[in-house]
Amino acid sequence: MASVEIGSVKKYYGDIEVLHGVSIDIADGEFVVLVGPSGCGKSTLLRMIAGLEEISEGDILINGLLVNDLPPKKRNLAMVFQSYALYPHMTVAENMGFSLRLAKQPKKLIDQEVRRAAEILDLQAYLDRYPRHLSGGQRQRVAMGRAIVRNPKVFLFDEPLSNLDAKLRGQMRAELKSLHQRLGTTTIYVTHDQTEAMTLADRMVVMKDGNVEQIGSPMDVFRNPANQFVAGFIGSPPMNFIAGKATEEGISVGDGEMIATDGVGRTTSDRPVYLGVRPKHLLVGSSAGPVNFPFHVELVEPTGDEVELTGRLFGQRVTAITPAMYVRSGETVPVALPPQSLFLFDRVSGERIAPL
C-alpha cells in the first residue's frame, strides 16, 4: 500500500496547457475519486500517475518516492480502463495471469494469485471460460482480477463502469466498494458521474477545466460547495440557481421580491448573485412556510414516492422534488424557500458568498 502526493502538476500538449497546477495528497489506503465533466483532465492526471504520460511540471511521489522519471512497470500500480481489453483467445485464468507470465513468475505462484483473485471477485466458476462467454459485468470483474493478481500498491480506475447498464453499474459500484474495504489498497478512481463519486469516495476531488475546484468528503462537498460550479455539479437533480441582486435590504429576485437570508449577502452596493436551492429544499404546498411564492408548474414527473416538478419561480426555471402529491401541469402552487437551505453565489465569479 502507498500514499500518493501530487504537487503542482501541469500538463502541456504542445502549447496547450490542459492541467494548470494540480495538488492532491492521497493517504495510504484512501479511496479518492477524481470527478468532473468530460475534458477536464481526469484521465490525463491518472495517466501521469501511472507513468503513461509525461509530467510537464510538478512532482508525483508514491510512498514518498519521486516517480516523475520512473517507468510504469516500476511504479507498482495497476490500472483498469473503461474498455476491459481482455484477450479474446485467452481464458479468464490466462487473462488474469498474463502480467505475471510476462514477468516470468513461476507457474505455481501465478496459479495461486489467479485463484486468490478469482475468489475475491467470485469468478472461480469461470476460470476456464473465454471472454465472449461472459456478461459485461463478469468481463469487468476479470479486468479487475488482472489488476488484483499483481498485488499493486495503488489501483487506478478510469471510468471502469461506463460501459455497463445502469443496474449492473450499481451492483459493480457496491462490489468495488466492498473490494476496497477488504483489501484496503489505495485507490484513485476517475469518473464524470457524480453519483459514482458520491457513493464510492472517501474523498472526492472535483475538477473543471484542468483545475481542482474542491477536495473533501462527499457529504462535506455536498453540504458546503466552494462555488457555483461544484454546487451545480454535485447533487442530482442539480441545484437551482435563481438570478437576483444582493442589496442593502437583502436578496431581491424577479420583480423585486425580497428573500430572507438571515442577513447574509446584504451589501451597500447592489451585487449580482445567484440564489442556490436544491430541488428537495423547495418546499411545495400551502403549509410549506410562513412566506410563500407562486410556482407555476409546467411539467409533472412522478418517480414513485416522489414527484419532480419543473416550472417557473420568479420568472425563472426551477425544479422541485416533493413527496408524491396531486399537482397538475399548468397549476400554480405556493413554495417556501427556507433560509437555512439557501446558498448564495457571486453571479460573476461563481464564488460562494459566506455560508448562509
Binding site for ligand ADP (CB under 6 A): 13, 18, 36, 38-44
Binding partner of residue 134 among Mg ion, ligand ADP, none, CB cut-off 5 to 8 Å per kind:
none
Q: Indicate the angle between helix axes 166-183 and 136-148, nearest 10 degrees.
A: 20
Nearer to ligand ADP, 42 or 180 (CB): 42
Binding partner of residue 41 among ligand ADP, Mg ion, none, CB cut-off 5 to 8 Å per kind:
ligand ADP
Q: Which residue in the shown chain puts its C-beta closest to Mg ion?
A: 43
CA distance 234 to 197: 9
Binding partner of residue 18 among Mg ion, ligand ADP, none, CB cut-off 5 to 8 Å per kind:
ligand ADP
Binding partner of residue 44 among ligand ADP, Mg ion, none, CB cut-off 5 to 8 Å per kind:
ligand ADP
DSSP state of 265: T
Nearer to ligand ADP, 39 or 237 (CB): 39
Q: How many residues bind Mg ion (CB under 5 A)?
A: 1
Query: In angstroms, what is the minimal distance from the CB of 69 to ligand ADP?
Result: 20
Cβ neighbours of residue 5 under 8 Å, at least 6 residues apart? Answer: 24, 25, 26, 59, 60, 61, 64
Binding partner of residue 160 among ligand ADP, Mg ion, none, CB cut-off 5 to 8 Å per kind:
none
Nearer to ligand ADP, 30 or 159 (CB): 159
Q: What is the dihedral of CA 231, 237, 240, 241, to 10 degrees?
A: 50
Query: In angstroms, what is the minimal distance from the CB of 58 to ligand ADP?
Result: 16
Helix (H, G, I), strand (E, B) or coil at 72: helix
Could you tell me where the beta strands, DSSP code E, fall in the chain? 4-13, 16-26, 31-35, 57-62, 65-66, 77-80, 154-158, 186-191, 203-208, 211-216, 240-246, 251-253, 257-259, 271-277, 283-284, 293-302, 306-313, 316-323, 332-336, 342-346
Query: In angstroms, what is the minimal distance from the CB of 24 to ligand ADP?
Result: 15
Nearer to ligand ADP, 42 or 146 (CB): 42
Query: In angstroms, what is the minimal distance from the CB of 42 to Mg ion?
Result: 5
Cβ neighbours of residue 320 under 8 Å, at least 6 residues apart? Answer: 279, 280, 282, 284, 295, 308, 309, 310, 311, 335
Find residue 80's DSSP bridge partners: 157
Length, in residues, of the chain: 356
Nearer to ligand ADP, 38 or 340 (CB): 38
Binding partner of residue 340 among Mg ion, ligand ADP, none, CB cut-off 5 to 8 Å per kind:
none
CA-to-CA separations, 22 to 11, 25, 48, 50, 261, in angstroms, rounded: 10, 10, 12, 16, 35
Report residue 187: phi and psi, to 5°: -135, 130
Query: In angstroms, what is the minimal distance from the CB of 137 to ligand ADP?
Result: 23
Nearer to ligand ADP, 41 or 279 (CB): 41
Nearer to ligand ADP, 38 or 303 (CB): 38
Binding partner of residue 39 among ligand ADP, Mg ion, none, CB cut-off 5 to 8 Å per kind:
ligand ADP
CA distance 9 to 165: 34
Amino acid residing at 121: L
Nearer to ligand ADP, 12 or 87 (CB): 12
CA distance 86 to 111: 18
Binding partner of residue 256 among ligand ADP, Mg ion, none, CB cut-off 5 to 8 Å per kind:
none
Query: In angstroms, what is the minimal distance from the CB of 76 to ligand ADP?
Result: 23
Query: In angstroms, what is the minimal distance from the CB of 34 to Mg ion?
Result: 9
Residues 12-71 that bind Mg ion (CB under 5 A): 43
- Which residues bind to Mg ion, rule: CB under 5 A? 43
